[in-house]
Chains A and B, each alone.
Chain A
């Protein structure tokens, strides 16, 4: 009987600890979200959306130029990264499914997926900023595209693999060339999954700071030129949070809330899109 009690005790203790670990994780999530909402809402005002970032010491101002810059560079990043990523994913899932080149590319893609984003920033600095001679919005967009690409490759491949082989075979049997089968049968069937991948990629790059440090840099003024440095939310948060000015710090929290809210919304939308695919497909 004693041995059984010991086993039961150990069981209870271990399971209790694992529940405790989960509680700790959730408490930190709660603590971060609470601070974010409390300080972010306090920094929120209409001016945040209508005025550009203020000079030091100024009590007014907003984040309009940074919001615009983040939106533009994220959109451009996706526009550059999505076609390449989707084509490469198509190669891995369809044409090169079993080739050894594909396994190498799959592996490289997985490594790129987790590679430190600051390294990508340095790479784009050497590749684009140095030849151009100055920091620019377009170099920031390229850096974000390189970060988005592996995410899109991965989801495209996974989603195309979920399309039943029978559907593709039926198309082939009707005399369609592979490109026809892929674009008219496989893509529509995998559409919601591929959209999810895009949403996740947007979520991933819209909060990235490190790759923008030496590419888009920052811009205190309203600027729409792609060849000039462009303001963006992460860089403004970085600069303003570390400043001694109260107003700047308030704006940093407002920006942090905006960005987190946007990313959480995107992630939730992506989840909803996936759950429409039906059971089993949910987390693949």
Chain B
């Protein structure tokens, strides 16, 4: 065999390997697309019996009765929205505060350890927050906080209904707090990354004009990073909406729509986690999956919106997202 032939064969081998390697990377990338498509199709398929049976009543009715085989997801949707909103009310101010502390305030020797501690808090699995909520936070709220709320806030006009009722320790309020603790480090880390994309020269011009640290933050840093901040907050909301284990422990698993935040309730993910393996009839199981479809639609919309907002900043700058 001449050397020219050998070279030609070598080249052909290289081309073949190139085709195989390139093809397999493309196939893997397309598999990701198929995965999302597969999730949508398979869940819709499994949820179809429930949707076609109950139609719109599935999301407007507060009935959840395995005995008569009638299901409405209203109480779970309500619980999901209420606990997530509560979590956002607690988490957003704290997260923004932490992000400001980490980017503008902390001395260099403190910046890194505190930053790492916050990131480690974000790595703790949600089930740990769940049992901590059940064994530590719930008794604390039950004995000290909720009776006070019932006695004082419960008598107020208008908002009183939110704080009325027996102190169970578990319920919307506890779930909201546990969720907040869980998403704070996450939101804080993303907002910190967003803040760090603000060019130093902008901040320096602020200081050069005699602005205080707070004025630079409020009038330069925040306006510059507004979209990114909203994106970070919505990403946190997406987490809160879909979170399962942290909530399942402390929500109380009652299919009720109650005005009081102290009352036990349920969320979509908690209902699925608790009841799925015990769902005896096909319609029961299908109804739980139908709730999953609703959850998927809600979180997909929130996460997609958040991602689009963060996209403008460029992904490189956002390690924590």
Contact = CB atoms under 8 A, between A and B. Distances in A.
Interface of A: 7-8, 10-11, 14-15, 17-22, 24-26, 28-29, 31-32, 35-36, 39, 83-88, 90-92, 94-96, 101-102, 104-112, 114-120, 122-123, 125-127, 146, 149-150, 153, 158, 161, 177-180, 182-183, 203, 206-210, 213-214, 217, 234, 237-238, 241-242, 252-253, 256, 259-260, 263-264, 267-268, 271, 283-284
A109 B307 CA distance: 11
A259 B125 contact: yes
Interface stretch (B56-64, B69-77, B93-101, B257-265): B93-101
Given A238-B245, A242-B249, A11 B215 contact: yes
Contact of B238 (A24, A101, A114, A242): A114
A284 B321 CA distance: 11
Interface residues of B, number: 98
Contacts of B131: 237, 241, 252-253, 256
B295 interface: yes
B149 interface: no
A32 B25 contact: no
Interface stretch (B42-50, B156-164, B197-205): B42-50
Interface of B: 14-15, 17-18, 20-22, 24-33, 35-36, 38-39, 42-43, 45-46, 93-98, 100-102, 105-106, 114, 116-121, 123-132, 134-136, 181, 184-185, 188, 193, 212-215, 217-218, 235, 238-239, 241-245, 248-249, 269, 272-273, 276-277, 289, 292, 295-296, 299-300, 303-304, 306-307, 311, 315-316, 319-321
Given A14-B214, A114-B239, A213-B277, A126 B124 contact: no
A119 B299 CA distance: 10
Contacts of B311: 107
A22 B135 contact: no
Nearest to B273: A213
A29 B93 contact: no
B125 A260 contact: yes
Contacts of A203: 123
A263 to B, nearest CB: 6
Contacts of B185: 25, 29
B214 A111 contact: no
Nearest to B302: A114
Nearest to A111: B303
B127 A178 contact: no
